[in-house]
Chains A and B, each alone.
Chain A
Amino acid sequence: MRTHIKELRARYDLTQEDLAKKVGVRRETILFIEKGNYNPSLKLAHDIAKALQTTIDELFIFEE
């Protein structure tokens, strides 16, 4: 799974820590989601998408 979190963070000038504070998780969790090393729950994916003013579909790219 790939994500557009890094690009969207840059667009809104947010650091990983800022985004982590917005969605209520630890900074490392954002880091590992960005790297594709951790699959977030649907709720966290929704919260991140909301914080970055986008949708889950646009934020996460699922590859088969």
Chain B
Amino acid sequence: MKGKKEIIVSIVVVAGVLLTLFFYLMGTGEIEFNQIVLVGIALILVGLAMYIIWDKIRNVQKGLPGKDERTVSMSHKAGYYGFIAAIWSAVFGPVIIDIIFGYELDGGDVSAIVVLVSAFVFIISYLYLYWKGK
């Protein structure tokens, strides 16, 4: 039952993210390249999150738990890597962008980079651990 609740909450969150992206794009007049990149990354993250949710649903349908001690351990490890990535991206993200593109980021851009990088590292780490088995 707990697994089913989590799945429903995850689906609601994914739907919320998709709606937010939709309204963001509708509210933006002319879409710039950096916005396309950010929305693209967000859509990739949503796609990967949907894969994880689908995998949980598949297990629950078979009468198996949506999560067990291995997936909990995977979440903890991936969360740790995401946290480290958030710190490093906050420190070095603006510096790297400045060196490569010569563009100084404002606070909102840095926040967006931190959120996207940490989420990306979390999802990639989670899927790596999922397939590797560790």
The residue that A21 contacts in the complex, of B63, B71, B130, B132, with Cβ under 8 A, is B63
Instruction: Please report the C-alpha to C-alpha distance between residue A5 and residue B130 in the assembled complex, in whole angstroms.
Output: 21
The residue that A35 contacts in the complex, of B63, B64, B133, with Cβ under 8 A, is B133
Most buried by B among A17, A29, A41: A29
Contact between chains at B68 and A24 (CB < 8 Å):
yes
The answer, yes or no, to whether B65 is at the interface (CB within 8 Å) is yes
Q: For residues 35 through 61 of chain A, which have their beta carbon under 8 Å from a beta carbon of chain B?
A: 35, 37-38, 40-41, 44
How many chain A residues have a CB neighbour from B under 8 Å?
Answer: 17
Given the complex, which residues of B lie within 8 Å of A1, measured CB to CB? none
The answer, yes or no, to whether A14 is at the interface (CB within 8 Å) is no
Instruction: Please report the C-alpha to C-alpha distance between residue A37 and residue B59 in the assembled complex, in whole angstroms.
Output: 20
Given the complex, which residues of B lie within 8 Å of A40, measured CB to CB? 69
Instruction: Please report the C-alpha to C-alpha distance between residue A27 and residue B56 in the assembled complex, in whole angstroms.
Output: 12
The residue that A25 contacts in the complex, of B62, B63, B70, with Cβ under 8 A, is B70
Interface of A is mostly: helix
How many chain B residues have a CB neighbour from A under 8 Å?
Answer: 14
Instruction: Please report the C-alpha to C-alpha distance between residue A58 and residue B69 in the assembled complex, in whole angstroms.
Output: 22
B60 to chain A, nearest CB (A): 10
Given contacts A26-B59, A32-B70, contact A21 B64 (CB under 8 A): yes
The residue that B65 contacts in the complex, of A17, A26, A41, with Cβ under 8 A, is A26
Instruction: Please report the C-alpha to C-alpha distance between residue A35 and residue B133 in the assembled complex, in whole angstroms.
Output: 9
Binary contact track A1-31/B, C-beta < 8 Å → 1, others 0: 0000000000000000100110011111101
Contact between chains at B64 and A37 (CB < 8 Å):
no
Contact between chains at B68 and A38 (CB < 8 Å):
no
Chain A residues proximal to chain B, CB less than 8 Å = 17, 20-21, 24-29, 31-32, 35, 37-38, 40-41, 44
**10 pairs from A and B in contact (CB 8 Å cutoff):** A17-B64, A24-B65, A25-B64, A26-B64, A26-B65, A27-B62, A28-B70, A28-B130, A37-B132, A40-B69
